[in-house]
């Protein structure tokens, strides 16, 4: 039996949850894990939990992922409690252990499952429509980074080694172009050329890290727009989720992913490229929100590279989507033929739009930050 054939009902019953299980349904639109929500009757009260089958082709040590998440969420919860905040279990994820006290359950096919408290009355955005939204999303990631700025103890597990390492991403890309297992390179000639022409500037964050111009810190590494839950009540960012990639990196990976997904006028798989544009007012509001939390701990070296971070992370996403297209869509969930190629084209168009706005981006950061 493989994990795809496992009944989620049988798995969720193995977590330390009281009451009667009523339903289990698929949930969410993530590209990596498989998510379900269960509903339980707990002495007359209906309560929901979120369950995920961890993608163990992407995360080769799911146990390490869960240890990281457990440490990080406990750390954030203790900071929130010390500050006397209300609703701590809405502001950070809470891991629900298995009945035998582990952070995960293994199913009969060897799959790794985890459970979180389901944070009720929230939604996520795929695009912002106001500067206010851009501001609170930036603030949420700035706050998250600040909460982890003093995280100490054993170094977190690198759940995906070289995750944002442009050199190794380029190696995989070249390998995919050369092997071209599905004979797709001919359909992506312009995109392949773009990648080859822009390789040099792709290494900007990696070089800064290597040369010690920016520090290594604990960061999210996947700080895209829909990994931030927003409270339906006050319509403010509430909780940063999808913590599988929280590990050592640079804060610029997170500012970059925010810029890529918040300061964009179209979703990352929009096919009409005339709609794929960088949005300067959203960018400015996002950075104001982010810096309202982060400017106290960021170094000058980090601030100097904020502008590059958006362009760099968009570039790496284009490269990864294109590589996956050439490899035969083995990494990202796709829902139509050519989905990864559409995403790659979209992200290249966004890098080009950022290039066109470059002067205003750098002027804004010079005046506001440096
Ligand atoms: P993936 O790694 O596949 O992107 P995520 O961890 O981001 O999976 O979860 C998928 C979606 O589920 C998120 O975008 C968010 O909408 C929702 N979600 C995640 N965790 C919770 C939670 N604890 N409570 C409520 N919704 C959640
Ligand atoms: C994946 O898991 P999800 O959908 O939030 C990916 C990110 C990409 C993103 C592109 C572990 O994020 O790196 O930026 O898709 N996560 C992993 O949307 O590869
Ligand atoms: Mg996600």
| pLDDT, tens digit (0-9, with 9 covering 90-100), for 117-171 | 999 999 999 999 999 999 999 999 999 999 999 898 789 999 999 999 999 999 9
Cα 14 to Cα 36: distance, rounded to the nearest angstrom? 15
Residues 6+ apart with CB under 8 A from 258: 137, 138, 141, 223, 224, 225, 286, 290, 310
Q: Which of 8-22, 101-115, 145-159, 260-274 has the lowest mean pLDDT?
A: 145-159
* Per-chain mean pLDDT for the chain: 96
pLDDT at 356 over 80: yes
**Average pLDDT of 94-106?**
98
pLDDT at 298 over 70: yes
Instruction: Name the residue with the closest Cα to ligand 2, atom 12.
Output: 31
How does residue 1 score in pLDDT terms, banded at 50, 70 and 90? low
- Phi-psi region at 225: left, alpha or beta (left = phi > 0; alpha = psi -120 to 50): alpha
The burial of 177, by beta-carbon neighbours within 10 Å (0-12 exposed, 13-18 middle, 19 or more buried), is given as middle
In angstroms, what is the span from residue 18 Cα to ligand 2's centroid? 33
Ligand nearest to the CA of residue 35, numbered in listed order:
1
CATH superfamily label, 9-120: Phosphorylase Kinase; domain 1 (3.30.200.20)
The model's pTM is: 0.96
Tokens representing 343 are 């995403």
**Average pLDDT of 110-117?**
98
Question: How many Cβ atoms are within 10 Å of 181's Cβ, its own excluded?
Answer: 11
pLDDT at 241 over 70: yes
pLDDT at 314 over 90: yes
Provide the edge-to-edge strand list for the sheet that holds 228-231.
Answer: 122-123, 228-231, 237-240
Domain with CATH 3.90.1200.10 in the chain: 131-368
- Among 61, 224, 310, the mutation site with the greatest number of ligand 2 atoms within 8 A of its Cβ is 224
Percentage of the chain lying above the pLDDT 70 cut: 98
How does residue 181 score in pLDDT terms, banded at 50, 70 and 90? very high
pLDDT at 370 over 80: no
List 230's β-bridge partners, or say none: 123, 237
Which pLDDT does position 369 carry in this prediction? 81
CATH superfamily label, 131-368: Aminoglycoside phosphotransferase (APH), C-terminal lobe (3.90.1200.10)
Ligand nearest to the CA of residue 260, numbered in listed order:
2
Domain with CATH 3.30.200.20 in the chain: 9-120
How does residue 4 score in pLDDT terms, banded at 50, 70 and 90? low
| pLDDT, tens digit (0-9, with 9 covering 90-100), for 44-73 | 999 999 999 999 999 999 999 999 999 999
- Among 39, 50, 112, 160, the mutation site with the greatest number of ligand 1 atoms within 8 A of its Cβ is 50
């Amino acid at each position: 039996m493989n994990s795809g054939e496992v009944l989620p009902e049988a798995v969720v019953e193995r977590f330390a949850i009281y009451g009667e299980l009523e339903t289990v349904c698929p949930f969410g639109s993530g590209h990596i894990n498989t998510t379900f929500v269960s509903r339980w009757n707990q002495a007359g009260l209906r309560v929901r939990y979120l369950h995920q089958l961890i993608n163990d082709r992407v995360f080769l040590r799911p146990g390490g992922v869960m240890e990281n998440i457990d440490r990080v969420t406990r750390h954030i919860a203790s900071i929130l409690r010390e500050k006397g905040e209300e609703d701590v279990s809405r502001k950070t994820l809470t891991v629900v252990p298995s009945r035998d006290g582990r952070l995960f359950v293994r199913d009969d096919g060897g799959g790794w499952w985890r459970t979180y408290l389901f944070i009720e009355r929230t939604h996520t955005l795929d695009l912002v429509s106001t500067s206010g939204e851009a501001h609170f999303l930036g603030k949420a990631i700035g706050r998250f980074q600040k909460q982890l700025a003093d995280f100490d103890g054993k170094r977190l597990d690198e759940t995906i080694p070289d995750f944002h390492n442009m050199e190794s991403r380029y190696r995989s890309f070249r390998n995919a172009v050369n092997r071209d297992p599905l004979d797709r390179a001919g359909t992506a000639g312009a995109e392949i050329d773009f990648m080859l022409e822009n390789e040099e500037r792709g290494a900007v964050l990696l070089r800064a890290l290597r040369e010690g111009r920016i520090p290594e810190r604990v960061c999210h590494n996947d700080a895209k727009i829909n990994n931030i839950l927003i409270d339906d009540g006050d319509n403010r960012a509430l909780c940063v989720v999808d913590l599988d990639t929280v590990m050592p990196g640079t804060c610029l990976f997170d500012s970059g992913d925010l810029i890529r997904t918040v300061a964009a006028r179209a979703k990352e798989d929009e096919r009409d490229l005339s709609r794929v544009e960088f949005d300067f007012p959203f960018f400015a509001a996002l950075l104001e929100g982010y810096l309202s939390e982060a400017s106290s701990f960021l170094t000058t070296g980090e601030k100097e590279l904020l502008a590059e971070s958006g362009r760099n992370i968009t570039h790496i996403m284009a490269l990864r989507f294109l590589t996956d297209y050439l490899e035969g869509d083995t990494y990202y969930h796709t829902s139509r033929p050519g989905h990864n190629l559409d995403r790659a084209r979209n992200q290249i168009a966004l890098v080009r739009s950022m290039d066109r706005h470059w002067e205003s981006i750098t002027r804004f950061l010079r005046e506001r930050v440096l």
